[in-house]
Every structure is written in C-alpha cells, then in structure tokens.
C-alpha cells in the first residue's frame, strides 16, 4: 500500500471561546477543567482530521497554567500535529487569552496531547505520515523524540527511587514535613 503523508497545515485547528461567568471558580477565575476540556476537544479535532479516523486521548503533558484566565476574555486554542508514530500523534496546543477591554493577549499554556487513531474494531490503526516543511517543524518533531526518551528514563529513575525509599525509610527527609510516622 502506498504511504500517505499530510502537511501540518492540513489539520491545524483553531477554536475560540468566550469565557462566560458560568465557567468561573469560587475565586472568580476560569476553572482549569474548562480549559482542559477545550484542549481535549481541539486535540481531538486536529488529530482526527490528520488521521481521518476516530481518535482517543492517551497522554497529556505540560499542562502548567502560567496565567489565570478572567471572565470576559476570549480564549483561542491553536492545535497542530508535531509528531506522528504509527498510530499515535502528538498535538501541540497553544492557549492564548485576549482581553478586549485592556487590548492585551497572554499565553496561558502550551501543552502536548498524545492521541491514538482507532479503527472500527477499536484497535490502534496507522495514521498518515507528516510532511515537515521548515526548520521549526523539524525541530518540534525531534523534540518529541527527545521528550519520549526522557520520559522513559524518568519513569525508570522514579521507580528505582520508590524502591530505595521502601527499603531504607528516609525519616530524616520527613522531619520538616507535615506528616506523622506511626510504624
């Protein structure tokens, strides 16, 4: 079967939504969950457009909200595919909040959603390859490869750290923490 490739621009998806009072938390700012839900939707739209298939969210990375979003602001999410594996795709989502009254824009976060395409039987299925047209697109693709390697190393190190903490209780580390040891 001939390999199919698609450009990043083919599936770029931009969604804007006005932040209404119903989206606010007790502090008057927009709920993080509202933004997460919007991000999941835009990731789905972008991934299923690239794959021409149903997709599921498998992993979410880098969701650090660096600025609060206010009621009345317009949030715009821009999603692009930056990496494809066999059935998986990494979607980069940039979230910007525009304040019409102040005439300002602020980036609240840039996050990475891993999505997997599934066939009618519910099994992961191959997605088209990605055409990289400039240095930025190449850099982002390579960054995902690097991030995957680091994630594997991090998981292993965390597992080793957990094991060693179980063998030798590091009581000294807990002295200044708000916990009581009852062994």
**What's the rounded Cα separation, in Å, for the pair 130 and 166?**
45
- Report, in Å, the least distance between residue 58 CB and ligand COA: 4
| 68 vs 85 by CB, closer to ligand COA | 85
- Does residue 113 sit in helix, strand or coil? strand
| 133 vs 155 by CB, closer to ligand COA | 155
| 108 vs 114 by CB, closer to ligand COA | 114
- Report, in Å, the least distance between residue 123 CB and ligand COA: 7
| 1 vs 182 by CB, closer to ligand COA | 1
- Report, in Å, the least distance between residue 120 CB and ligand COA: 14
Q: Which residue is nearest to ligand COA (CB)?
A: 85
**What's the rounded Cα separation, in Å, for the pair 146 and 66?**
24
**In terms of Cα–Cα distance, which of 103, 8, 113 is closest to 58?**
113
In which element (H, E) is residue 47 found?
Answer: helix 32-51
Find the radius of gyration of the CA atoms of the chain. 20
Tokens of 13: 């998806």
- Report, in Å, the least distance between residue 162 CB and ligand COA: 18
The residues binding ligand COA (CB under 6 A) are 56-59, 85-88, 114, 116, 124
């Amino acid at each position: 079967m001939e390999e199919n490739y698609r450009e990043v621009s083919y599936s770029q998806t931009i969604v804007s939504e006005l932040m209404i009072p119903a989206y606010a938390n007790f502090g008057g700012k927009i709920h993080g969950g509202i933004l997460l839900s919007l991000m999941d939707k835009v990731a789905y739209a972008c991934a299923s457009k690239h794959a021409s298939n149903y997709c599921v969210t498998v992993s979410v990375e880098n969701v650090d909200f660096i600025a609060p979003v206010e009621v009345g602001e317009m949030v715009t999410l821009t999603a692009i595919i930056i990496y494809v594996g066999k059935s998986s795709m990494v979607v980069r989502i940039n979230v910007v909040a525009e304040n019409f009254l102040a005439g300002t824009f602020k980036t609240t976060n840039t996050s990475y959603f891993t999505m997997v395409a599934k066939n009618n039987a519910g099994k992961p299925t191959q997605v088209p390859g990605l055409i990289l047209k400039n240095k930025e697109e190449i850099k982002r693709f390579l960054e995902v490869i690097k991030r995957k390697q680091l994630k594997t190393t991090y998981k292993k190190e965390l597992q080793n750290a957990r094991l060693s903490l179980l063998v030798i209780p590091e009581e000294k580390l807990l002295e200044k923490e708000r916990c009581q040891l009852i062994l």
